[in-house]
Structure 1
Amino acid sequence: MTTRLSPWLFVLVMAVFPLWLGDQYILYILTSTGIFIIGAMSLNLLLGYTGQLSLGHIAFFGIGAYTSALLSLGFDLDLGGEQPFVMAPQPVWVAFLGGILVAALFGFLIGKLAFRVRGAYFVIVTISFAQVMRMVALNWVDLTEGPMALNNIPPLSVWLPWDGVIPLYRKEYNYLLVLAVAVVCFLVIQRLVQSRVGRALVALRENESLARSVGIDVTRYLVVATVIAAAMAGAAGGLYTHYIRIVDPDVFMFIYTVTMVIMVVTGGKGTLAGPIVGGLAFGILPELLREVARPELQWIIYGVAMIVVVFFLPQGIVPAVSNWVASRRKRVAATALGLRKETSA
């Protein structure tokens, strides 16, 4: 019972956090970290449960960000005809959902293409895809404004019974929105990995040849995982663009994928809580170091912390803690059993 309630208690604590937190900067950091935790959760679906390392995962994040921004701002596109194609500004939630759908579509296309290869070839395909998307965003100036960036992006809004529709300008509202989306993504992933699809994905990760031999359609299940992961990364990108309210080609930078990989691996890949724990630890750590160390020393400490975690906790923080708790319970149970035997004797 306690195990089932623990995640909801954690969500409750995080939800009331803004009510007593007075520092708006810390709230901004937590919101930004939460957005990348959603991205890390989506990456964990591929890296942790299928064993496929996608180093171009940030492409789906950027696609969601740009699509949501363009739909909410409106755009016109010259397709070579007499009249340009004109897209009027759409409601922000329609734009947000559009970003998720477009990211999922690209996930389907890349999944169909990339999963024909494995290993290093798959990594190269995903990296190349992210770099292509960055170059498109940088050079298609008529659509994306290139390095000048898309700005004045409208924030997401909500309807409240006492206020009507209000734009989410305040950091507290954005924080709660990111938390809500993270909870939804967590529940979707939890339901998926505990289903028949999830068991098939784990079978592919453990032994692909054996999975094929028992009739598992490898490409189909990998594409399903890629589509869902891409949609979640697109949602994270949409949250990012409507929160920061500006987006430029740097959103496709490789360092963001590395950040997500760090969150997944240090927290514990293939676990539901791993990306969350790793994201909170290594998303907030740079901000904590900023107060006590010079910039060059901050990155040294950050790197050493990662090396320590990987060296002493090779499976990640969450599996290590789970194993410690399990072994402690066994010792307590063995001790209690021994005391009962002594008492009965």
Structure 2
Amino acid sequence: MPSLLTMQAPCTESSEENVHHTLSLVIPLYNEEGNVLALVDAVQAALQDSPWPWQLILVDDGSHDGTRRRLQEVTARFPGQICAVLLRRNFGQTAAMQAGIDMASGSIIVTMDGDLQNNPQDIPRMVKRLLDEDLDLLAGWRQNRQDHVWLRKVPSWIANCLIARVTGIRLHDYGCSLKVFRASVIKGVRLYGEMHRFIPTWLATRTAAERIREEPVSHFPRLHGKSKYGLSRTIRVVLDLIAMSFFMRFRARPGHFFGWIGLLCGLSGTAAMIYLAYLKIVCAEQIGNRPLLVLGAILLLTGVQFICTGIVTEMLMRTYYEASDSRIYVIQKILGGPADGAPAKAGLAEERNVP
């Protein structure tokens, strides 16, 4: 199997325009032993006539079944084109996806789930549309979902409604992992928590909304393994949604968020104190036993605390923007090396333990 750099694109009408593009397919895996071999075969079949050189990056997110053994088999079968990244423990789908994106060397990055519910045959069509329409993100839209209604459809519907309501980015299916990105855009976004659902929203802070579109895709029932989704994930999505909403509006100016709260509390406390001072000095009333005195003092102190918190967050944000790149995952081992035939670029050997 040729490497990413050496595999030549077939001669087609679109080859001349897109010949300089390469694909990196990123697939996180967690306890998917029964799907690995079929998944690789499906990707090979879907991309065998691809006009773009491609690589496949499989990220094992701390599986405790036979997934890693299967990954050793497929990296041995397709040396140079399939790279398996083994994380030291289960960090979550978002961290696994980030690890694969960091490893990707293609100019176009494709992400999808490893449960065989996404169809790799949709990838060439989506990549072509992304390039033809000059988009930065093309998200999959599962129009005929094959999931259990209450177990996955309901939480997904709730999450989609909440995300669209809070962020203002209107997509039908935020939860579909089959997405196609321009690497230059997605690599500028750092993912954490359950943030893989919010990728379109994060990208909207770095590119125009009209460069984000969706595409109807196929969806199949799960044949092997167990679903990792449920109602509990909706709660985590809500918490991440609150954090994401804050970062979208105040990422570069968090002091404004805390400052407004602090000023509101401070002004309210000041007004209460001025009123009490008027009663004490002008009206000669006793104010020591008034609840308003306690409330005014609390509001003043709260206002000072929020303003100080805003100053601290401004300092932290400056440190964040100036700090070196940080990781939310730990790689234990990499099998097969980068699929672009340039392991030195990533500082990786053919098979290497990573501390």
Q: Same fold by TM-score, threshold 0.5 exceeded?
A: no
Higher strand content, 1 or 2: 2
TM-score scaled to structure 1, two decimals?
A: 0.24
Higher relative contact order (CA 8 A, sep 6+): 1
Higher helix content, 1 or 2: 1
